[in-house]
Amino acid sequence: MMDTSPAKSPPATKSKKSPVSQSYTARDITVLEGLEPVRKRPGMYIGGTGAPGLHHLVWEIVDNAVDEVINGHASTIQVCLHRDGRTVTVADNGRGIPVDMHPQHGKSALELILTTLHAGGKFDQNNYITSGGLHGVGSSVVNALSSEMVATITRGGSKHQQTYRRGKPNGPVERVSESRGSGTAIRFTPDTEIFGDLVLDPNLIREHLEVSAYLNRGMKVIFKDETNSTRLEIQHDGGVLDFLEHTIKGRENRKTTDQVLHIERTQAPRLEVAMSWTDAPREYFKSFVNGIPTRDGGTHEQGLKDAIVKAIRNYIETHDISIPRGLSISADDIREGVTAICSCFLVEPQFQGQTKDKLNNPEVRAQIDGAVRPALEQWLHTNKSAADAVLMRIVMSAKARQASRAANDQVRRKSATTRRLNLPGKLADCSNSNPAECEIFIVEGDSAGGSAKQGRDRLTQAILPLRGKVLNAEQAALKKVLANNELSDIVRALGCGIGTDFNEDRLRYHKVILLMDADSDGHHIATLLLTFLYRYMRPLIDGGYVYLAQPPLYKVEAGGRTYWASDDSERDKILAKLPARYKVEISRFKGLGEMMPKTLYQTTLDPEKRRLLRVTIPDGDRLETEQVITDLMGKDPQTRFREIVSWMDLVEELDV
């Protein structure tokens, strides 16, 4: 039987698209006019609607006023943060924004600038040679994101005013009164619909104004903070040089040399650079273009970095300066510790985004390099003492980097695949697991270690005896240093790693105490250990974890009492205070192993009675410390001899 019913269509497949997408036509295209795009997507223009975006509104208006100063049309800027903590007025004594009618658009120039994206006088170099505002969107963006803006213009003997709400004018520009002088004052209140209840930070505003005053030598800035009833006048006649000193001091660094490189160039691109090497562990560059901070750097900052590296390498090659054998100097070594301020002014800067955090002009890198490199080379040639200090700083960085890298490689090769604690077998550990309450004594010799183990407080005191010879970490090959059993045991016992793998949180003891005999041999061993810690585990010293124990060298018995003296001088002071009638017995310890455990605890281990010397490197002596260790502990005997001779005047008695 034939089926004559109509053929059934296959079941319709359900579309995953919404009905709206199926009716997508030209009518669905939305055109945002005027300043609507800004309010719709504010993050595209100011980076976001959080605190940084809120403050960016202030920077835009302030930077417009600074542009008047940069181009020689103004000398003073006034900024007022009003009582509500949100409203700001920025005023300058520049030319004043034009208020006459624009010939093509039928609006006043003021209204056109404040209500239209990409409108302004900075596209024409006849009005502004250099400026931070480039796209003509800054003021109009602020207007769009403000619940109210009032522009007051003084120009041509009259004062004009226009008010806006959320980017739209309330009415035309009005002539308010006659007035002398000229200038622009912009008062705005950020819109709570965009920024919520956020308020402006007066400290951030003050810091921004400080930077502007540094970059524009002689510019006067008045900051009124009505939230705190304060008024501050800012003016830095020293300009970028003062800025450098302020930056170094604020970062609590010390300059490697008192002499500072300062470059000021007037031809295009206009440039000012101030820089100095410091004791900081990293480089620190602050760069600006047309007064705008470029927080992410860019081609101008890279050009400065290139110039520094090339100038140093050229100086080393030209003067045939000897670099320690096997030591390679990298660009990072050269720039380590450099603090620099770089301010340049460009006619056509190309920024990455409206927030202008990075400069992209490719040609600027070579221009800055070409301006800075010869100036830095000349500065090095002219200031030999400063150049020597800088080179010593660079060599110190290279040594530290090389030691850290090699140590890390060696430690990684030796590390087990598990994280199980691998302590030296000769370590007598303490039972307390709180590092802040624990201390380790690194003791010279098995006999002294035995006395220390018996006399210690087992709860908080660990003992690590050194049985073999300690190598000179400054002279021995790196491979040999890291293969040394005694030094390897120290690293394993401390547990904090070495070189760049150093982790303070893993340190097992917060007091690392070197306990050696009180004679010259003990001092020598302590010096060798300190050299190793300085070169390979310096954060221990910088963190204040390293100490020298002060065991007695003499035992003085008189009048039924016992006195302890750590050296001849202290012994003599004790004897001088004793009555003449006392019978005195003096014993000199040949080593810590001669002491009974109880005596060692009472004189050297007991936290209540002992004396410890904390090992520190004062900030101002870091370069000298590096020089002394290199000269005294290094391979060159002539250098060592000269260093010893230079200290001879301070030697009263020589123990040979």
Query: How many C-beta atoms lie closer than 10 Å to residue 519's C-beta?
Result: 15
Element housing 529 (H / E)? helix 520-536
Catalytic residue among 333, 517, 626, 631: 517
Q: Are 67 and 128 in contact (CB under 8 A)?
A: yes
Instruction: Look up residue 487 and give its two tokens.
Output: 């030094």
User: In 156-293, at which residue ranges do the beta strands (DSSP E only) sit?
Assistant: 158-165, 168-169, 174-178, 183-190, 220-225, 230-234, 261-265, 270-277, 284-289, 292-293
Please calculate the CA angle 530-531-533 and round it to the nearest 5 degrees. 60
Per-residue burial over 196-229, b if 16 or more Cβ lie within 10 Å, else e, is eebebebeebbebbbbbbbbbbebbbbbbbeeee
Catalytic residue among 193, 446, 521, 585: 521
Give the pLDDT confidence score for residue 431 in this predicted structure. 92
Residues near 537 by beta carbon (within 8 Å), at least 6 away in sequence: 491, 494, 496, 498, 502
Query: How many C-beta atoms lie closer than 10 Å to residue 3's C-beta?
Result: 6
Catalytic residue among 63, 336, 444, 474: 444
Give the pLDDT confidence score for residue 18 in this predicted structure. 45
User: Alpha-carbon Rg of the chain, whole angstroms?
Assistant: 36
- Known active-site residue 457: no
Give the pLDDT confidence score for residue 621 in this predicted structure. 78
Give the pLDDT confidence score for residue 612 in this predicted structure. 94
Pairing of strands 88-92, 76-81: antiparallel
354: Cα separation from own chain's centroid: 26
User: In 559-623, at which residue ranges do the beta strands (DSSP E only) sit?
Assistant: 561-565, 584-588, 612-614
- Known active-site residue 67: no
Catalytic residue among 519, 568, 594, 606: 519
- Known active-site residue 621: no
Q: Give me the torsion for CA of 240, 243, 249, 253, rounded to 10°.
A: -50
Q: Are 148 and 163 in contact (CB under 8 A)?
A: yes
In Å, what is the CA distance from 105 to each residue of 110, 112, 355, 412, 579? 12, 8, 28, 71, 107
Amino acid of residue 486: E
- Known active-site residue 264: no
Q: Are 541 and 534 in contact (CB under 8 A)?
A: yes
Burial class (CB in 10 A: 0-12, 13-18, 19+), 292: buried
Mean pLDDT by 10 residues, the chain (656 residues): 42 45 49 68 83 91 88 92 96 91 80 75 41 53 93 93 93 91 94 93 94 91 96 94 94 90 89 93 92 89 96 91 82 94 89 78 93 95 90 87 66 42 81 93 86 92 85 81 85 86 90 89 90 91 94 90 89 90 88 86 92 88 81 79 71 55
Please calculate the CA angle 481-476-591 and round it to the nearest 5 degrees. 75
Give the pLDDT confidence score for residue 513 in this predicted structure. 96
Angle at which helix 51-70 crosses helix 202-215, to 10 degrees, equals 30
Domains and CATH numbers, the chain: 37-234 (3.30.565.10), 239-401 (3.30.230.10), 420-551+589-616 (3.40.50.670), 624-656 (no CATH)
Give the pLDDT confidence score for residue 244 in this predicted structure. 96
Pairing of strands 183-190, 146-155: antiparallel
